[in-house]
Amino acid sequence: MRSLKLLLLILAIPLCAGAQSPKKKYTLKQCMETAWTNNITMKQNLAGVESNAIAVKQAQMNRLPSLNASGSQALNFGRSVNPFDNTVVENQQVNSNSFGLSTSVNLFSGMQNTYTLQQRQLNLKASKEDVNTVKNNIALGVVEAFANVLSTKSLLETAKEQLTGTKAQTERTEKLVKAGSLPITSLYDLKAQLATEETNLIMAENNLDLARLALAQWMQIEPEMLEDVEEPEVIIGEGEAKTAREVYEVAEGNQPQIQAARTRVMAGEKGIAVAKSNYYPTLNLQAGLFTNYSSLAQRFVAGEKLATPTFRPFGEFQITDPSTGISLPVVISQKITEGPGRFEDLSFGNQFENNLRKGFSLNLNIPIFNGFSSRYAIENAKINALNAKLQLDQQKNQLRQSIQTAVANEMAASKRLAAVEKQVSALEEAYRSAEQRLNLGVINPVDYLLAKNNLSRAQNDRVRLKYDYFIRRALVDFYLGKELNFN
């Protein structure tokens, strides 16, 4: 029983390993989507979009008022100032707190916040176009690698067919040699051709493995995960012929790299406006609430009213009668109606409310001289705007040259494909005729192999040129804004 469990565990290990990285046949669309998902440059550009989106939100929030709270705790010993009444006290401990709530709003700053927001919105738009540019570049690379896989697969199938035909002809010739109908040299020639085609088959298999590896690298997956690709129906038809100028006029309006460069030109112009806003005055409105607490704060509490008033002498003097010269004492008393008062400490709540003070202010700042920083900021902004315009011109020139090359290559590929189609048709007839004459013994195997090799080379050329033309045609369609696909 234990041996059976161990055997099942050993058998399950390769199954689990295979489940971790299952092989899959990919369509062209799936290859593109996988490459877009895994590409690191794509992820970096998407992170840039998020960063610019945050910058836009921050610029929007900069228009809102600011609100700040503050608080402090102080403990003083010896000679210090009582914050309650600003009197100087000595040899006492003073525990004090202060609290504040302040707000500020910018009323005018030369439209700097508005221009900054517009500039960041343009930067966000440009970064999105950068993502589309990277996406297109990945798509073009995947399409070319995908087409290369299809091309090498076709070449492999052609090599297999050629090898099968040569094997059949070799077996037939061997029988004829044994029967004495053909010389032994005819068999040697065919066996040499068979060995050559077996080598060609191995080379075709290696080329297919390399093509699949290149496609897997574009998709950024492990090569073992790419079992094969779904072979679509490749339609090679006559497209509407357009000149390079006509293609460029369409591409200039839909290519994301041009849109990104054009957007950055507008962002550069907004940067100049942001720099010029430093010449204008700024006006801010500020308001605040403040209060404080002191451990020495006290208030006087009057005594209670007496039911029976009392008199308390507080002074006396002598009055002399001028006629007699006799001095009489006079006593002055104070009528007391309340009992003795007392001082009591003010509570935290009472001080918080009693000491509350409010205020607001309008602050105007007029720039007069700041070391020419504003002037140099404007000059730098103008240089950045100029660089953005030059970058736009460079992108246009690169696009124009790429389109001129693509249109010329598409026309050349079309002509080469048409020529090789005629060549294959002619060589197929020549091969059929050579095969029939070989079977009749009219020609020797050397002439037959010459016709066969010529046809094989032409067929291989047709396969390569078929996909080469498709790539050239797809690139022109890409510049025309059409979807990259095989169907």
- Tokens in use for 41? 């440059």
More confident call, 440 vs 454: 454
Give the residues across from 283 on adjacent strands.
Answer: 108, 364
pLDDT, tens digit, for every residue of 245-254?
A: 999 999 999 9
Q: Assess whether pLDDT exceeds 50 at residue 45.
A: yes
Backbone torsions φ then ψ of 429, nearest 5 degrees? -65, -40
Mean pLDDT of the region 32-40: 94
Mean pLDDT of the region 424-429: 90
Name the residue ranges covered by the structural domains of the chain.
24-64+109-280+369-479, 303-340
Confidence of residue 22 (pLDDT cuts 50, 70, 90): low
Mean pLDDT of the region 76-83: 76
More confident call, 63 vs 93: 63
More confident call, 92 vs 243: 243
pLDDT, tens digit, for every residue of 57-74?
A: 999 999 999 999 998 888
The structural architecture, per CATH, of the domain 24-64+109-280+369-479 is Up-down Bundle (1.20)
Confidence (pLDDT) at 387: 96
More confident call, 364 vs 342: 364
Residue that is written with structure tokens 């039911």 in the block: 307
| Averaged confidence pLDDT in the chain | 84
Rounded to whole angstroms, the Cα distance separating 188 from 172 reads 13
Q: Assess whether pLDDT exceeds 90 at residue 20.
A: no
Rounded to whole angstroms, the Cα distance separating 472 from 468 reads 6
**Angle (nearest 5°) at CA 132 between 128 and 135:** 135
First to last CA, the chain: 57
Confidence (pLDDT) at 391: 95
Confidence (pLDDT) at 12: 41
Confidence (pLDDT) at 309: 73
Rounded to whole angstroms, the Cα distance separating 398 from 395 reads 5
Confidence (pLDDT) at 256: 94
Stated as kind and residue range, the H or E segment containing 184 is: helix 184-219
Mean pLDDT of the region 114-126: 95
Asked if 133 and 188 touch (Cβ cutoff 8 Å), the reply is: no
Confidence (pLDDT) at 306: 65
User: In the chain, what percentage of residues exceed pLDDT 70?
Assistant: 87
More confident call, 298 vs 166: 166
Backbone torsions φ then ψ of 286, nearest 5 degrees? -125, 145
User: In the chain, what percentage of residues exceed pLDDT 90?
Assistant: 39
Confidence (pLDDT) at 59: 93
pLDDT, tens digit, for every residue of 244-286?
A: 999 999 999 999 999 999 999 999 999 999 999 999 999 999 9
- Angle of helix 373-440 versus helix 445-479 axis, rounded to 10: 150
Confidence (pLDDT) at 390: 97
Confidence (pLDDT) at 3: 43
Cα–Cα distances in Å, from 282 out to 285, 362, 426, 439? 10, 10, 85, 101
Mean pLDDT of the region 82-94: 75
Q: Concatenated DSSP letters for 102-129? A: EEEEEEESTTHHHHHHHHHHHHHHHHHH
The tally of CA atoms less than 13 A away on the side-chain side of residue 378 is: 8
